[in-house]
Amino acid sequence: MKKRVSVLLVACAMIVSMLSSGVQAATPSSAAQDLLTKLRVALQQADQSASASTSVVINNANVLLDELGVAMKNNDSAAMAAAVQKFCSEFSYLDDYNNNNDDYDETKFHQCTTTVAITFASKLPSLYTAITDKHGNTNECLFINITNALADIIGSVYDSEICKVDAYPFDPNATQEYIQQKANLRNGLVQLSQTFHFYSFFATVASTHYCIEEVTAMNYITLLIKFVGIFKYSFFTPVG
């Protein structure tokens, strides 16, 4: 309970600080360039440890980011929209996830597949929403909103991978080495999930500061929910 309260207090302090300081950037353009750099670094980190199930998503995300960066530089919103549509049409993670034949606990893995289907049914359309969202009415704001949705989707990919790790049945005869390998795998996935959800939070702050003319209470609630969501794995660690 104390940990959750601490996270909430830190979240409130960060949100107020970041909005008041202008996300440490003077213009929407500099904010977008800063976010471009951060997401590129995050994707490079993910690419270094990509598995068979995540490599296609990461590769396609890298291509999308390159195309968005060029389109933003050329002030070409139509090219941004085309790049997003291409990414969505090639998004095959759901099929790859459901076709996995590893020896999972059947009930737990069914819960994973159900959650994954619901998650991406809601998150993929957010990329299309970002294309049509008129907040800020600039290509920099368009870039911020698209990459916000993209980072949220990739973070959810790693959330789904964590669910698979947790779906392995507990083996009371497992060696300490196996248990440690599983823990290391899960911790690595958690770090990547947090990295992309952090980016999504920062992009939401930038969008709120630069791209929304009249900030409402709901905007602040969204920021708070995004920030607290980054640390969801700090509240619960499965056994086994």
Number of domain units in the chain = 1
pLDDT bracket for residue 237 (50, 70, 90): low
Given this model, what pLDDT does residue 135 score? 60
pLDDT the model gives residue 134? 59
Residue scoring higher pLDDT (73 or 99): 73
| H or E element, residue 86 | helix 77-89
Is residue 196 domain-resident?
A: yes
Q: How many helices (H) and strands (E) does the chain have?
A: 9, 0
Helix 55-73 × helix 139-166 angle, to 10°? 170
> Is residue 91 predicted with pLDDT exceeding 50?
yes
Statement: residue 138 has pLDDT above 90: no
Q: What is the pLDDT of residues 195-214, one digit of tens each?
A: 999 999 999 999 988 888 88
Residue 147 resides in a domain: yes
Say which residue, 161 or 28, is predicted with more confidence: 161
Residues whose CB falls within 8 Å of the CB of residue 7, separated by 6 or more in sequence, listed in order: 227, 228, 231, 234
Is the residue at 9 inside a domain?
no
Classify residue 52: in a domain, yes or no.
yes
Amino acid 3: pLDDT: 46
Of 220, 160, 229, nearest to 200 by C-alpha is 229
Q: 69: domain range?
A: 27-216
| pLDDT score of 46 | 94
- For residue 188, being part of any structural domain is answered with yes
Residues 223 and 208: beta-carbon distance below 8 Å: yes
* pLDDT over threshold 60, residue 5: no
